[in-house]
Chains A and B, each alone.
Chain A
Amino acid sequence: MFRTRSLVALLLLALAGLLAALGREGQREATRGRGSDRAGGKVERCVTCHVRPEEDQGGAHARAAVGCSSCHLGNELAFDKARAHAGMEPEPGALRTVSRTCGRAGCHVREARRVSTSLMARASGIVSVNRWVFGEIPEPRGTATMAETLAKADPSPAERHLGKLCAGCHLHTLRENRDDAIHGNGSGCASCHVARKLPGAVPRPHPAIDARVTDDRCLGCHSRSGRIALTYEGLHEVEKDQAGACGDAATTLHDGRPACRAEADVHRLAGLSCIDCHLHTDLMGDGRAWEHSEEQVEITCEACHGPARGGSEGKETTWSEVTDPISRDLLRQRGETRPPDERVRLGRRGTPLWNLRPSGAGWVTLRKGQGVALATKQTPIDPNHVLPGHERLTCSSCHAAWAPTCSTCHTRYESDGRQWDFARSAETAGRWVETSDGYTARPPALAVRADGRIAPAVPGMVMDLDATAAGGPKGSRRLYSSFDPHSTGKKARACESCHLSSWALGLGTGTLSLTGSRPAFRPATPAPDEPRMASDAWTHLDAEHPGVGTRVGLRSLDAKELRRTLAVGACVSCHKDARDPVWKDFEASNARLAIGRTRCAFSTKG
C-alpha cells in the first residue's frame, strides 16, 4: 500500500518539522523569564520577567503583594510575552476597564463605582450649560454625560463644541486622546493617584501610586475654566500681550501659558493642599449622579470654621455615630484611630471631616500629606459677622479676595480649519476659535443663588457666539457664573468694595454716583444693545429683570436689592465700623435722618 518513496518524503517532512520545533524550543527557553511565578499568593507569571527593582513600586501595591495583572490585566498565566501582554491595560484605573482593575472585587470596588458616577467622570454640568447656551435645551441642567455626548453619531453644534474644546478634562477621555493642556494625566483613577508625567521628565518604569493626592495633579484640569487651582496658588492667567504688564509678577504656568502672580488663598499660605479641605465625596462622588459641582461638593467654610450665625451648616457628631466606611478605611490605612466619643465635624451630607480634630476649646486641621496640625480658627461672633442685613451672605462673598475675570469672550466656528476632536480621537475638520481682550484679576461680583444666598460671581459667558458655520446660533449672551474662586483672604473685602462698587453689584465697569436723588451709573463702555448698561455688566439700575446666570435660579441683584445696597453705600464711607450704631437698624437710622432727628455730617458738608 504505502510506497517507500512516500515514507521517505514523510520522513523528510517530519525532520523539517522537528527542526522547526527545535528552533521554537530554543527560542522558548531563551526568552522565558527566570523569576518566581507567584505573587500575592497566586500564579503571576508576569514577574518571571518583570524582576527589576524599579518595576516594583512597593507599598500597598507592591509587586510581591498584588503582582502585575491585578492592575494591568493581560494574561498572568502565560510565559510567552505576546500572550501575556494580550488584553493588557497600560493605564490601570482608566474608566473603560476600571471595574476589572482598581475596581475589581476585593480592591476598590466602591471607589471605582463612585468615581464613575462622579462629575469628574460625567461632566454633566459642562454638557448641560453648554447646550443651554447654544439654545439646545431650555434650562442649564440635565443628566447627559460627556461620554454620551462624545459617542453621538450626529452631534449637535453644542456637542461638537464640547467635543473639540471641553471634553479633554473628563475622566472618560483616554490619556492618549488629550491635547497639550492636560498632558500627563490619566483617564481614571490615575488622573489623581499617579504622579504626573511632566514634559521632559525622565521616564520611570513604574510611577508611584498615592492616596495623598498632591495639588499638581488637580492643576491639570482645574487650571482651566474657573481656574480655581491657579487662583488657589495665587496665579492668574493672562493673554500673551498682557504678561508684560505684570512686571515682576509675570510667570509661566506648567503648560506654558503666561500668568501673573497674585495673592494666594490663605489656606494655601498655611500649607493646606486641595485634599486637606475637600472630602472624598467632593472629589470621587458619593455614588449619586449630581448635575453640577456645587451639588457634589460637601465641604463648606462653616464645616471647619463653624457657623457665623448658628446656621444649619457646621454640624457635629461623635465618631461613635459615624457610619461612612471610606472615612473609616482612610483612618485605618493611615494607622489612626478616633475615640468613639471624640467630636467630629460633618460636611453638608454628613461625611465626616476626619482630619479636623477637636483640640482643647478649638479645632485643629491635620495636613493629610504631612500630618501637621494647624489651629483652625472658629468664626467669631462679632459685629462683622452678625451685621444686620448680611444674613444671606456666604462666607466667600466677603472673603473671596479676587477672581479671574474675562468679560470679552468671542467664540466662533471656522469650518475650513482643523482641530483635535476628542470624540474621534483625531484631528477633524472644523475649528472653534476663542478670543478675548484679556483676563483680569479683580474682586468678584455678587450673585443671588437659587437658594437666596449671596455668593461671588464672575462673567461666565459675557460673550459673542457665532456658531452659524456649524449650524448653530449667532448672538451674544450675558451670563455670570457663581463659584468659590478659592482666593480666600484673611481679611474680608471692605464695605466699599461691594456697596460702592459698580463691578461688585453687577453693573460692570463705569462711574457710580450717589449724589443725586437716586443712584446713577455711567458705563465706561456702553453695551451695543443697551446704552444704560456697561459692556461687561450683568444688569443695570433700571433693569426690570435681574441678569441671568449659568444655573437655574442664579441671578444678579435685582433693582430693589441694588437700591438697598447702594443706600448703604452712601453711608459706608464715614460709618466704616461694623459697631457703628447706625448699622444696628439701618432702616430706623435712615428714618431718623429723614425726620431730622439725627444729622448726616456728609450731607451737611456736601
Chain B
Amino acid sequence: MILGRLTYGLLLVAVLSGLALAPFWSAARPLESLETLNGATPWGFWLRGVHALSSWGFLLGTLAHLVEVLSKKTDGRLSPGVWWRSVALLPVSILALLGGFLMRGDAEAQAALAVWREVSASIPVVGRALAALLLGVPGSDLAPVALHHAGTFTLLAWLLTAEHGKTLAPDLRSTVLAALGSFAAAGLLPVSLGPAIAPAGALLLGPWYLLGLQGALLHLPVTAGWLLPLFLLAVVGLVRHVDGRWRTTLLAVAAAWSAGYLAFTVRLLLAAR
C-alpha cells in the first residue's frame, strides 16, 4: 500500500534528521540549546522543522494506514502476532513523538512531563518504576527521555514497521517523496517552541496528538491517562479476531472513542483561547 510505504519513508527522514539534530541538543539545557538551534544556527530552524514534520507525518500516516487497513478489511492478511504488534506501533509512535515534545524543555514540555509522570506512576505495581525508567526522576535532566525518544521507541517503531512492511528499509522512491514533502513543509510551516515560563493563568497545551487525552484528564482521574488508550488498542486489536456484527460493533466503539477524543480536543482548544 502506498500510504504504508510513504509512512515508512517518513520514519526514515525523521530518524536521519534526528541524528543530524542530536549534536545540537543538550539534556541539561534543552530549551537553551533549541533556542540556539532556532535562532543562532544556520538553517537550524529548518532542520528541526524537517524532523518534527516528518515525525508528525509518520504518526498521521500510521493512523491513516490503520484506517485504510480496517476499512479495506486487509487486517486478516496479517498473522495475529504481527497484527497485534502492528497495533502496538501506534502507542510506540506516540511515545516516541511525546519524547520529542518533552525534549523541548519549554513550559509546555515541562507541564507535559509532569502530567505524563503522574499518568505513568498511576499504573498499578510497576507505575512508579516505569515513570522513573522512561522519564527519569523529578529534578533530573532529560537524558532518560532523550534515550527512549532516540533509542527505545524509535528502534521499536522501526522494528515493528519493518516487520509489518516485511522490509528492513523503505524503498528509495518513498524516501525521496517523504524527504521532499518534509523539506517543503519545514520551509512553509515553521515549528515554534512554547513559552519559556508559563504565562500566569494560561492553559498550557500538550502535543496536538494528545490534546484529547489532556482534555479528558481535566474531568477524569489520572488512571484514565493509560486506561483510555489501552481500551482503544484492545478494541482495535480485537477487530482482527471477529467478523460480522461483532466487527461492526468494535469498529463503532473505536469510532465513538475517536469522536470523543476529537470533542475533548476541540473543547480544550476553545478553553485555551
* Chain B residue at smallest Cβ distance from A19: B187
Report the minimum CB–CB distance from A164 to chain B (whole Å).
26
| Bound CA span A577–B190, Å | 90
The answer to whether A16 and B188 touch across the interface, beta carbons within 8 angstroms, is: yes
* CB within 8 Å for A80 and B188 given contacts A1-B173, A6-B177, A10-B181: no
| Bound CA span A32–B45, Å | 14
* Chain B residue at smallest Cβ distance from A37: B40
| Bound CA span A32–B173, Å | 38
| Bound CA span A453–B105, Å | 63
Report the minimum CB–CB distance from B42 to chain A (whole Å).
7
Interface residues of A in 69-122 (CB under 8 A from B): 73, 75-80, 83, 86-87
**Which listed residue, B184, B190, B196, touches A10 by the CB 8 Å rule?**
B184
| Bound CA span A2–B181, Å | 14
* CB within 8 Å for A83 and B193 given contacts A24-B45, A77-B35: yes
Report the minimum CB–CB distance from B101 to chain A (whole Å).
18
**Which listed residue, B29, B38, B180, touches A80 by the CB 8 Å rule?**
B38
- Judge whether A198 is part of the interface by a CB distance below 8 angstroms: no
The answer to whether A29 and B42 touch across the interface, beta carbons within 8 angstroms, is: yes
Report the minimum CB–CB distance from B202 to chain A (whole Å).
10
The answer to whether B181 and A14 touch across the interface, beta carbons within 8 angstroms, is: yes
B188 contacts across to A, CB distance below 8 A: 16-17, 20
A16 contacts across to B, CB distance below 8 A: 184, 187-188
Number of interface residues of A (CB under 8 A): 34
The answer to whether B183 and A18 touch across the interface, beta carbons within 8 angstroms, is: yes
- Judge whether B176 is part of the interface by a CB distance below 8 angstroms: yes
| Bound CA span A18–B192, Å | 17
Main secondary structure of the interface of B (DSSP, over half): helix
The answer to whether A2 and B39 touch across the interface, beta carbons within 8 angstroms, is: no
Interface residues of B in 170-187 (CB under 8 A from A): 173-174, 176-177, 180-181, 183-187
Scoring B31, B35, B195 by chain A CB atoms within 10 A of each residue's CB, the highest score goes to B35
| Bound CA span A77–B38, Å | 11
| Bound CA span A518–B40, Å | 92
* Chain A residue at smallest Cβ distance from B179: A14
The answer to whether B197 and A17 touch across the interface, beta carbons within 8 angstroms, is: no
Report the minimum CB–CB distance from A551 to chain B (whole Å).
37
- Judge whether B2 is part of the interface by a CB distance below 8 angstroms: yes
The answer to whether A11 and B180 touch across the interface, beta carbons within 8 angstroms, is: yes
- Judge whether B5 is part of the interface by a CB distance below 8 angstroms: yes
- Judge whether B153 is part of the interface by a CB distance below 8 angstroms: no
**Which listed residue, A2, A17, A22, A32, touches B184 by the CB 8 Å rule?**
A17
| Bound CA span A444–B177, Å | 90
The answer to whether B197 and A73 touch across the interface, beta carbons within 8 angstroms, is: yes
B49 contacts across to A, CB distance below 8 A: 21
| Bound CA span A433–B141, Å | 61
| Bound CA span A15–B181, Å | 10
* CB within 8 Å for A13 and B181 given contacts A75-B197, A87-B195, A87-B199: yes
- Judge whether A154 is part of the interface by a CB distance below 8 angstroms: no
B35 contacts across to A, CB distance below 8 A: 45, 75, 77-79, 83
Report the minimum CB–CB distance from A199 to chain B (whole Å).
32
Q: Can you report 15 residue pairs joining A to B where beta carbons are below 8 Å apart?
A: A1-B2, A7-B180, A10-B180, A11-B180, A21-B43, A21-B187, A24-B190, A37-B40, A45-B39, A75-B35, A78-B196, A79-B40, A80-B38, A83-B193, A87-B196
* Interface residues of A, Cβ cutoff 8 Å to B: 1-2, 6-7, 10-11, 13-22, 24-25, 28-29, 32, 37, 43, 45, 73, 75-80, 83, 86-87
Query: In the complex, given contacts A6-B177, A19-B187, what are 7 additional A-B residue pairs having Cβ atoms less than 8 angstroms apart?
Result: A1-B173, A10-B184, A20-B188, A21-B49, A45-B35, A77-B31, A79-B39
